[in-house]
Structure formats: structure tokens, C-alpha cells
Amino acid sequence: MTDKKENMLEKITSLAKRRGFVFPSSEIYGGMQAIYDYGHYGTLLKNNIRDAWWKHMVQCRDDVVGLDSAIFMHPTTWVASGHVGGFNDPQVDCRKCKSRFRADHILEEFGISADKAPLEELNAHLDKLREEGKLKCANCGSTDLTPAKIFSLMVKSNIGSPTDELKEENVVYLRPETCGGIYLEYKNTIDSLHIKLPFGIAQVGKAFRNEIVARQFIFRTREFEQMEMQYFLHPDIMKEKYDMWKDTRWKWYLEYGMKKEELRWYKHEKLAHYASEAYDVEYNFKTLGGFKEVEGIHARGDWDLSQHSKYSGVDLSYFDEKTGEKFTPHIMETSVGLNRLVLMFIDHSYVEEEVNGETRVVLKFDKRLAPVKVAILPLSKKEELTKPAREIYEKLRQLFMVEYDETQSIGKRYRRQDEIGTPYCVTVDFETLNDKAVTVRDRDTMKQERIAIDKLEEYLKGKLV
Ligand code: GAP
């Protein structure tokens, strides 16, 4: 890792913990690798991103409906989808310190692109680096690394009697992606909503993968949330709808404050055998030192419904009443990691500014995504100020996520609100008692405006809604 990237990752990981966004999970027991918990502000931010996605994907569309399917699914689901046999990563171990790496990620560090390459190809590249003396453990520097071998990403569990052993016949898998539930509920959705093609089903939920992880904070974790939408259509309109979704999703990022220069499309050249097109939206992470995938947009053909139809024996074909044609719908997917978006929005919003010779750290989130919208700060703990401040707080919290804070100096309180990205701070001072007005400070410009208390609600609604 370069110093700059290491520095940014450290700054953001430490801010996230200090300010209650993200904590390493089970920390008092020594933690668990690549598993994280979300604190108060992290949960609020994550929920706001989720809601912004849902609004765009479901609420504001006529052709997409929602779903919340179970994490546990019939084990055959993952045999039919090909995950049990083929959802693997190539793993390399350090024999000295026991660190574990992904072979394709090691090669990436040398500028060799080997995503989804067969094992023989990966090992040929690794052997060459070994011969040249370049292959070293990123953790301890040892040259004693194993060849790449296949490692299943599927997380096993068992369900049923607690005394049952985890025998092969008892194994169920924690879903590795949320779309499996969408395919299995495709028929119930059509039968219950009488919806016509083309249409999409969207859902947000947890997914689990036994990832071989590098130090990437919440970018790649073993438990994470996906926001996926599967769009069912006739193959003749795949190209048109694919382009439409690509365009729609791109605009969503720009709408929530991302800059065009920070994003790019990555076209997959090596596609799964059933896929006809796959692009990723990539964001240039300061914390990870370059462009990385945040969302995938995939044209998946009729593979999913055909496979589930074959393995379940249930006909999942669609009859078009207008044309009289019966066919298996093809699927266009948009799939994005919610936790990855949390990192993307923090990474994008993180700004350090010089103010009066001091460094001000601000998270300049889009206001709709900011965890807290308004902070109410009385300038003294005297009741004559805390009473009206609390009254304002009680009123505004019915409308927005609002915080009340009467501790510490005003400078420290502003600093804390800047670091969690609160767009507006409202101070109640002794002048308030005379002019029945408060001072509203804008997070980004730090400009202050005097607003009458009875106009405050309207003023903030105008800024925030
Ligand atoms: N259904 C398609 C699918 O799951 P994917 O490229 O494996 O495709 C889609 O995952 C998105 O899910 C990725 O772009 C990423 O944002 C997120 N994602 C995947 N694995 C992840 C992990 N281990 N941790 C966090 N996010 C992950």
C-alpha cells in the first residue's frame, strides 16, 4: 500500500470508529476478520442510502416491485445456480505467518489482470514472479507462499435439531447473493400482482461470503448487504433495457453528489457462459488507492429461471397474451453492495479544510444522506436558553433526525457535527430571548444566518426536503 492510501484508510477507519459509524465486530473478544458493526451514525447513513436506492428503484417506478426473501433457502437453490460447484476464489497461503491472499489480487499488484482466470494460468503467473524473486507475503515478507488453490466462498450452516451434526445432508447455505430469493419468488410475484413483462423485483438484504480478505475495511466483508434488482424481459428488448438501466443507475450516483470524474464504467471481457453483457460502476476510492467496483449491471440471459425450472420441475415460463408467445424470461440485473456505498459516500464526502490555522474535518454528505440533519446547540446550560432550545428540538425531531447538544464549547460541538456531516447547526443564544430568532450555520460554507424561530421549520424544510 502507498503511504497516501494507507493514511486515508487509517483516517477514515479511525473517524468511523471514533464518531460511531463503524466498529470492528466482537472487538472485546479480539474481533472477527472482515466483519463489522454499524453504530448510531453508520446505521442512519446506511438506512438513508438504502432509502435513496429504494426510492429510485421502486417508489418512483411503475415497473419495479419489492421483496424481502429469507436468508435461508432450499439447498438445491445453490446447486441449480451453480454456486455449490463453482463459487470459488483462488487462494494463496503464506506458510510462515499463515496470512491468506487472493491469487488474482496478488497479480493485480503487479499489473497482471487475472480476474476469473483458470487456476493453471494464475499459477503460471505466480511461478514466474516466484522465479524472479518478486513473490512475497504482503504481511511478513516471506517468499514461502503456496501455489493457488480453489477455495469455496459459500458459508455453511445447519438448520433443524440443534443436536444434528453439520453433516452434508444437513447443510444449508447462507445466501451468497440476494437475487436467488428473487428468482424463487418470480412466479408468486406474477401470480399475486398480475404484473406484466418487462418488470423488475428489487430487494435489500444480507449476503454472506467466505471471502479471502485483504485490509479493505468495509469494502469487502464476509457479511454484507446487497441491493439487487432483477428485471425480467423478452430477449428482443435486452439491449434497449440494458442501456436504459445503465443510464438510470449512472444518474443516481450523480444525483447524490458523486462527480463524473470519480466514477467510470468497467466492461467485463470475460463473461459467465450465460451472460451477454456486464459492466461495473467503479469509484476512485481515496482509501483504497484507485478505481474499484461498487455496482454490477449484468445481462444474464435465461440461465437463472431455466436452471430453477429444471431443478424444481416447476414451469417458470411466461405467456405473452398479446403475442401468444411462451418463453423463459431473460434477466437484466443491477447489483450493488450497501456497505460498499457507505464507504464510497464517506470516502467521497471526507474533506479536510484549513480554518483559522486549524484543520477542520467535514463529511460533506448530500443532505438527504446525512445521518443527522440538524443539531440544536444552546450557547449556555442556563435554563433560560436550554428551555427554548429543547422546545425547538422537540418540534423539529418530529420532521427530521435532530440532535440536541449542550455539552462542551460551541467550537467543539461544531467540530463534532462537522465530523458526522450534519448540514445545519442551530444555536440558541441570549439574543434569542429578545429577538425570538436563532443562528443557523451551514456545514459547507460555515455562513451563519439569523432566522426567526417561527420561520425555522419552513426554512429547514426548504433546505432539506
Ligand atoms: N448477483 C450478482 C452479484 O452478487 P457480485 O459482483 O458478486 O454480483 C455485486 O456482487 C455487488 O455486491 C458488488 O458490486 C459489491 O458492491 C457487492 N459485494 C460483493 N461482494 C461483497 C463483499 N464481500 N463485501 C461487500 N460488498 C460486496
pLDDT (tens digit per residue) in 197-249: 999 999 999 999 999 877 799 999 999 999 999 999 999 999 999 999 999 99
- pLDDT band for 166, please (50, 70, 90 cuts): low
Q: From CA 95, how far away is CA 116, in angstroms rounded?
A: 24
Q: What is the pLDDT of residue 252?
A: 98
Q: What is the pLDDT of residue 279?
A: 98
Identify the residue whose C-alpha is closest to ligand 1 atom 6.
Answer: 296
Q: Can you list the alpha helix ranges (DSSP code H) found in 271-409?
A: 303-312, 338-349, 383-396
Report the C-alpha dihedral over residues 134, 135, 136, 137, rounded to 10 degrees.
150
Model confidence at 2: pLDDT above 60: no
Is 133:143 a contact under the CB 8 Å cutoff? yes
- pLDDT band for 114, please (50, 70, 90 cuts): confident
Q: Can you list the alpha helix ranges (DSSP code H) found in 170-323?
A: 179-184, 186-193, 238-255, 303-312
Q: Which of 211-220, 253-262, 325-334, 410-419 has the lowest mean pLDDT?
A: 211-220
Average pLDDT over residues 343-348: 98
Q: From CA 438, how far away is CA 461, in angstroms rounded?
A: 16
Q: What is the pLDDT of residue 239?
A: 96
Q: What is the pLDDT of residue 351?
A: 97
Mean pLDDT rounded to a whole number for the chain: 94
Instruction: Please report the beta strands in 262-338, taking only residues with DSSP state E, as ranges in sequence order.
Output: 263-267, 277-285, 290-299, 318-319, 326-327, 330-337
- pLDDT band for 139, please (50, 70, 90 cuts): confident
**Phi, psi (deg, nearest 5) at residue 257:** 95, -5
Is 112:125 a contact under the CB 8 Å cutoff? yes
- pLDDT band for 165, please (50, 70, 90 cuts): low
* Ligand 1 mean position, distance from CA 337 (Å): 5
**Residue spans per domain, the chain:** 2-73+174-347, 89-152, 372-464
Q: Which grid coordinates are listed for 307?
A: 436452471
Probe residue for ligand 1, chosen from 88, 224, 253, 280 as the CB with the greatest number of ligand atoms within 8 Å? 224
Q: What is the pLDDT of residue 49?
A: 98
Probe residue for ligand 1, chosen from 35, 280, 335, 343 as the CB with the greatest number of ligand atoms within 8 Å? 335
Q: What is the pLDDT of residue 170?
A: 76
Q: What is the pLDDT of residue 407?
A: 95
Average pLDDT over residues 377-393: 97
Rounded to the nearest 10 degrees, the angle between the axes of helix 3-18 and helix 338-349 is 110
DSSP-derived letter for residue 228 is E
- pLDDT band for 117, please (50, 70, 90 cuts): confident
Q: From CA 152, how far away is CA 90, in angstroms rounded?
A: 9
Buried b (16+ CB within 10 A) or exposed e, 348-384: bbbeeeeeeeeeeebbbbbbbbbbbbbbbbbbeeeee
Q: What is the pLDDT of residue 37?
A: 98
Q: Identify whether 198 is preceded by a cis peptide bond (ω within 30 of 0).
A: yes
Identify the residue whose C-alpha is closest to ligand 1 atom 24.
Answer: 220
- Confirm whether 2-73+174-347 and 372-464 share one CATH topology: no
pTM: 0.94
Model confidence at 122: pLDDT above 80: yes
* Ligand 1 mean position, distance from CA 336 (Å): 6
Percent of the chain as helix, strand, coil, to the nearest 5: 35, 25, 35
Q: What is the pLDDT of residue 158?
A: 85
**250-262 confidence digits (pLDDT tens):** 999 999 999 999 9
List ligand 1's pocket residues with C-beta within 6 A: 177, 179, 209, 211, 220-221, 224, 226, 228, 293-296, 333, 335-337, 339-340
Model confidence at 264: pLDDT above 90: yes
* Ligand 1 mean position, distance from CA 42 (Å): 20
* Ligand 1 mean position, distance from CA 210 (Å): 12
Model confidence at 1: pLDDT above 60: no
Model confidence at 100: pLDDT above 80: yes
Average pLDDT over residues 81-107: 91
* Ligand 1 mean position, distance from CA 335 (Å): 7
- For domain 372-464, the CATH class is alpha beta
Model confidence at 373: pLDDT above 90: yes
Average pLDDT over residues 329-346: 98
Q: Indicate the fold that domain 2-73+174-347 takes in CATH.
A: BirA Bifunctional Protein; domain 2 (3.30.930)
**46-87 confidence digits (pLDDT tens):** 999 999 999 999 999 999 999 999 999 999 999 999 999 889
Q: Which grid coordinates are listed for 293?
A: 467496483
Most confident among 55-64, 77-86, 106-115, 167-176 (mean pLDDT) = 55-64
